[in-house]
Amino acid sequence: MKLPKKLKEKEKEKLKARSKKKRKKITYRLGSSKSTVHAPVPKKKFYESFTPYLVVIGVIFVIVVIFMVINFDNPDVTTDNSDTYGTNITFQTIDGTTIELSDHQGQVVILYFFDLGCTPCGPEADVISDIDDAYSNSRVFIVLVTVHSWDSNDGLNQFKIDHDLNRPIVRDDNSGTYGSRFNIAYTPTTILLDEDGNQVNRYIGYDPDHFDQIKNAIDGL
């Protein structure tokens, strides 16, 4: 049975309308699915993640350099001036006693550098002993410093007895800490410090005239 021509045309229009709806739905679905796709997030480069840390390290480095420059340009006089004993010098005697030279401010200090193998050190020690007898303990303080770390305690104590020097003995270390502080190049060397710890003079070797020279220097302070 054939449909009338008008009915056929109507049927065709319905089919076209359905196909358009389907296409719209498909387009809509495709469009909506595309709208949910996110663009890929670009990855950071390797070094970019460390940038904050590098900035912090750089700032710390600059601060350290500035601190070092300030301290280099403004040294502590009491610790770096080799012509004064300063309040920071501590002697350790061979019998274990600690001597702080700062405790003897107001006294003239004599540092006698020697060693047991030094021939002229004995006669010069007699000169120092005579100086010791000429002044009271409150006026003059004497420290004997051996520059040889291998000088034995027995030998050093016998040295004191032989030269009638009942004064503390200090043994320098292998690095010559005490000797280098006062630029000791020869033994015997006697360093004379005034009441404020300033170096007044040094006397190198043995000379019988050292007694008068040292005594005149002390009397002139």
pLDDT (tens digit, 9 = 90+) per residue, 140-193? 999 999 999 999 999 999 999 999 999 999 999 999 999 999 999 999 999 999
212, two tokens: 């008068």
Report the alpha-carbon distance of residue 169 to residue 167 in Å, rounded: 7
The pLDDT of residue 80: 40
Vertex 207 angle, CA 116 and 187, to 5°: 30
170, two tokens: 């200090």
Mean pLDDT, rounded, for 98-124: 94
Q: Which residue has the higher pLDDT, 1 or 207?
A: 207
Mean pLDDT, rounded, for 54-80: 50
**Residue 116 burial (10 A CB sphere; 0-12, 13-18, 19+):** middle
The pLDDT of residue 49: 62
Query: Is 15 a residue whose pLDDT tops 90?
Result: no
Most confident of 64-68, 76-80, 169-173: 169-173
Whole-number Cα distances in Å, 55 to 46, 49, 63, 211: 16, 12, 13, 66
User: What does the mean pLDDT of the chain come to?
Assistant: 78
What are the tens digits of pLDDT across the range 20-64? 555 544 444 444 444 444 445 555 555 556 566 666 676 676 665
The pLDDT of residue 79: 38
The pLDDT of residue 137: 86
The pLDDT of residue 208: 94
Q: Is the dihedral angle over the CA atoms 153, 159, 165, 169 positive or is it negative?
A: negative
Query: Is 10 a residue whose pLDDT tops 60?
Result: yes
The pLDDT of residue 219: 95
Report the alpha-carbon distance of residue 39 to residue 36 in Å, rounded: 10
**What pTM was estimated for this model as a whole?**
0.61
What is the Cα 104 distance to its own chain's centre?
A: 28
Q: Long-range contacts for 197-206 (Cβ within 8 Å, ≥24 apart)?
A: 197/84, 197/85, 197/86, 197/101, 197/102, 197/105, 197/109, 198/83, 198/84, 199/83, 199/84, 205/120, 205/124, 206/120, 206/121, 206/123, 206/124, 206/127
Neighbours of 213 (CB within 10 A): 15
